[in-house]
Structures are given as C-alpha cells and as structure tokens.
Amino acid sequence: MTEITEKSSLECMDILNVKETSCYLRCSQSKVYDMVTRNVIPYAKLEGRIVFIKTDVMKWLKTLRAGIVLADETDMQEAV
C-alpha cells in the first residue's frame, strides 16, 4: 500500500476508486476489496480512501502470466 500525500503528484496520475477499478477489471467491487485485503492488487490510501493508480494496476495485470484467471470471488488459481 502507498500513502499519497502530495497533491501535485496526483495531477500526473490517473486515479481510480474501487468502483472504477472493478469496472476496469470487470469484477465485483467486493472482489476488489478482497484483493486489497489480501494485498494482491497494488493500491494506495488517499485521505483514508482506497484508490488505485491506473498505471500500477496495468503493470500488475501484465505481471500475471497467461493462464491465471480470477476463478471465483475468493482466490486466484491457474486455469486447468
């Protein structure tokens, strides 16, 4: 988790909230919260709110190797 404190650094970033991130990832908001709780997805706290830096989420997605899928609402596993 990253704490964002500099307002000027926000100007260069595309910041997503939980709802926007769930739309971007095409999963439920509860899945996004679950991934945050398990520190699976990169996120930051901004004034107490959970936010996502879009470029970080994109990099995270690229690190997932082919064949890894969101199997259900509780975990990630390799596709069979």
Is the separation of the CB atoms in 1 and 44 below 8 Å?
Answer: yes
pLDDT attached to residue 47: 92
pLDDT digits 0-9 by tens, 9-66: 555 679 999 999 999 999 999 999 999 999 999 999 999 999 999 999 999 998 885 5
pLDDT attached to residue 80: 30
Where in the chain are the domains? Answer: 2-78
Residue closest to 61 by CA, chosen among 16, 30, 4, 3: 16
Is the separation of the CB atoms in 33 and 74 below 8 Å?
Answer: no
Residue 64, C-beta contacts closer than 8 angstroms, at least 6 positions apart:
none
pLDDT attached to residue 76: 47
CB atoms within 10 A of CB 3: 8
